[in-house]
Amino acid sequence: MTASKITSPFPQRFTDRQRARYIRQGKDLVEEETQIQFRLGDLTLKMVPVQHTGTSDQRDVFPVPDRCADEIGINVHTLLGYRHVSVKWPPKHRAPGVS
């Protein structure tokens, strides 16, 4: 059985250096996106902190993020998802480069 060569999915016109630069830029953008999502989740937590009552706080939480989401131009469920992740991953547990 002969080994087949794995070909790059990048067009031949890209040099290795160009590919590396594009990949690095893409990784930087993903990191930036991750940080923005955490910042939005953290902001939502500042507006409506977690209540440790033993019951789901979703019903009490919804009106504030709903209004905020409308005003900043994001889906409320996306914003609530960011809030949920921020609750589960507080700043002290976050690591750069991990989305």
Condensed to tens digits (0 to 9), the pLDDT of residues 23-55 reads 999 999 999 999 999 999 999 999 999 877 655
> Considering the entire predicted model, what is its pTM?
0.76
| Whole-angstrom distance, CA of residue 73 vs CA of residue 70 | 5
Per-residue pLDDT reduced to its tens digit, 2-23? 667 767 676 677 788 888 999 9
Could you count the other beta carbons within 10 Å of the beta carbon of residue 21? Answer: 12
Domain boundaries, the chain: 16-93
In this predicted structure, what is the pLDDT of residue 21? 94
Token representation of residue 78 = 């996306």
Question: Is 83 a residue whose pLDDT tops 90?
Answer: yes
Could you tell me the sign of the dihedral formed by the alpha carbons of 69, 92, 28, 10, in that order? negative
The mean-pLDDT minimum among 42-46, 57-61, 84-88, 91-95 falls in 57-61
